Amino acid sequence: GARREALEDFKNSHFKVMVATDLAGRGLDIVELPVVVNYDLPRSADDYTHRIGRTGRAGGLGLAVSFVTAESESHFRLIEKRNACRLTREEIEGFEPTETPRERPGSAGTGGIKGRRKSKKDKLREAEARKLKE
């Protein structure tokens, strides 16, 4: 289908950039993928490993970049803990962390991405936001 066709086009260098959801995180074998960018952190440490594992395959070098916000910092620390590693952070000029995380539109009372029940990630974000307000 469309997924397979898009992957083939990317593998054959018809596209230089691919934007994908977690559906593409597993089972992809793209030779010499130089960079993986996480615009949003995955829900689990295992999913994080699979996402960043798309680069640097078979002993090759690759770069994985994750955008971590004040709201997602505690979740990122949990991913590091579960993977028994500490990753380097770099602040980007003009995007420095703020004292109070901004609330995302539509986030109040929705209970997260998958429905009404809050995920661990959502609970961690709320706890971090409460800590910052104190």
pLDDT confidence band for 7 (50 / 70 / 90): confident
> What CATH class has 2-101?
alpha beta
H or E segment and range at residue 95 = none
Q: pLDDT tens digit string along 91-134?
A: 889 888 776 655 555 555 444 444 456 778 888 888 888 888 77
pLDDT confidence band for 20 (50 / 70 / 90): confident
CA 10 and chain centroid, separation? 21
Domain ranges (residues) in the chain: 2-101
Angle between helix 73-82 and 45-52 (nearest 10): 80
Question: What does the block give as tokens for 128?
Answer: 């971090």
Closest CA to 68 of 117, 134, 28, 128: 128
Cα gap 97→101, rounded to integer Å:
8
More confident residue, 122 or 89: 89
Q: Is the pTM of this model over 0.75?
A: no
Q: pLDDT tens digit string along 23-59?
A: 665 667 777 788 888 888 888 888 888 888 877 777 7
